[in-house]
Amino acid sequence: MPAPVFDDVVGQERVVDQLTHAAAAAAGLLRGGTALGMTHAWLFTGPPGSGRSVAARAFAAALLCPDQGCGHCTSCHQVRAGTHPDLMLVKPDGLSYGVKQTRDLVLRAAGAPSGGRWQVVLFTGADRATEQAANALLKAIEEPSPRTVWLLCAPSAEELVTTIRSRCRLVTLRTPPAAAVAEVLTRRDGVDPARALAAARAAQGHVGRARRLATDRDAAQRRAEVLRMPARVVSLGTALSAAAGLVKAAEQEAAAVTEELNEPERAALRKAFGEGSTGKGVAKAVRGAAGALSDLEARQKSRATRLKRDALDRALLDLAAFYRDVLVVQLGADGDLDLASAGYEDELRQLAAAGSPESTVRRIEAIMTCRERLELNVAPLLAVEEMALALLAG
């Protein structure tokens, strides 16, 4: 029976079994046993929404808990909250993670665990490490501290340098079934079962995305706007207008998230430097705050860029899923598969009748090409305009 900390690792039975055995081996190692099944470096891979970081955090809880992940003790609660003294959570905010940050991380990770079990480093977005940062990380993995465990997360193993991935034990997650995602939304978030299943199908198994669609009216509305794009692209003017609207919607979504994150960070920094205080040393503190605030603003700007890319990428994935459903209808398989675009059956059938499977495949390819170009830092509006023209041409 899997430990309770693995309850939110959705639709990944094989992975849970692998991690459960590893946690048991780690506990045995602390008692003087062998390390069979346990190692100091792990690489969690899988498509977006598969739950890489969720699985990694559950594993961290199992390693740090005296009962291998009971889910109820102080240690498990601290891991869930991200406050455990022996857990280091690393989540790159921007487009990359630099060598200076990595060297600082490696230095901190070399310390002994305060709780006597493990020092766990959970590094989400490890694929964003620069080449120099990857070299610094490699050295730490090649020469590990006795009680330090590295948990790296990336979409695929190929996105990390060969020397790092060859020294990690691979944990491969899959896209969870819609029914499994819906069950979690109903059990944990109290979402109505029918609404939960519709959101899970729309999110294509992405648990976090499904939760937003089921509980956030604005998120659901933004997705609805994206799915109206195919019917609107009927001329050069409408194609360019739809492209501009898609980019603007992504920017608005990212701006809302960015401001929610930025202001608390700025307030905390100002408070840390004694804003509003008087007395000796205040002038010096204010000068220090100016430099720290400048650094914070640079990090926030990088994060804002990433959030815009992520928001636009989600929109493109929704669009690709819509055309995938058009293709399913054209091939006559819509009775056998769950459609991500349920609720838009009339639009799907109209587009299916107006085109051929070959033209639909070309449109899907255009969307995926647009995603690739955005990753290569092509200006978003130019990339999306080119995609919109390809959707028009079919």
| Domain spans in the chain, listed from the N-terminal domain onward | 4-172, 180-215, 236-393
**Res 256: pLDDT:** 77
Measured between alpha carbons, how far is 140 from 103 in angstroms, rounded to an integer? 9
Beta carbons of 17 and 67 less than 8 angstroms apart: no
Helix (H, G, I), strand (E, B) or coil at 10: coil
> What mean pLDDT do residues 316-339 have?
86
The confidence band for 96, taking pLDDT boundaries of 50, 70 and 90, is: confident
Beta carbons of 205 and 175 less than 8 angstroms apart: yes
Helix (H, G, I), strand (E, B) or coil at 152: strand
268 or 359, which is more confident: 359
**Res 282: pLDDT:** 44
Measured between alpha carbons, how far is 275 from 209 in angstroms, rounded to an integer? 38
pTM score of the predicted model: 0.76
Dihedral of CA 224/230/231/236: which sign?
Answer: positive
**Res 332: pLDDT:** 87
Where does the chain have alpha helices with state H?
13-30, 52-64, 74-81, 99-109, 131-142, 162-165, 178-189, 193-202, 207-215, 217-227, 229-232, 236-272, 282-330, 345-354, 357-375, 380-393
Burial of 191-203, coded b for 16+ CB within 10 Å and e otherwise, reads: beeebbbbbbbbb
Beta carbons of 371 and 313 less than 8 angstroms apart: yes
**Res 71: pLDDT:** 92
Beta carbons of 93 and 123 less than 8 angstroms apart: no
Torsion angle, alpha carbons of 272, 275, 279, 283, to 10? 90
How do residues 1-32 score in pLDDT, each as one tens digit?
A: 678 999 989 899 999 999 999 999 999 998 88
**Res 93: pLDDT:** 74
Q: What is the CATH number of domain 4-172?
A: 3.40.50.300
**Res 196: pLDDT:** 93
Paired strand residues for 394:
none
Q: What is the DSSP string of 349-378?
A: HHHHHHS-HHHHHHHHHHHHHHHHHHHTT-
Predicted confidence (pLDDT) at residue 279 exceeds the cutoff of 70: no
> What mean pLDDT do residues 160-188 have?
92
> What mean pLDDT do residues 101-121 have?
91
Distance of alpha carbon 111 from the chain centroid: 28
Largest CA distance in the chain: 78
How do residues 19-76 score in pLDDT, each as one tens digit?
A: 999 999 999 998 887 767 899 999 999 988 889 999 999 999 999 999 999 999 999 9
Nearest to 295 by CA among 98, 82, 91: 98
**Res 394: pLDDT:** 75
Measured between alpha carbons, how far is 25 from 31 in angstroms, rounded to an integer? 10
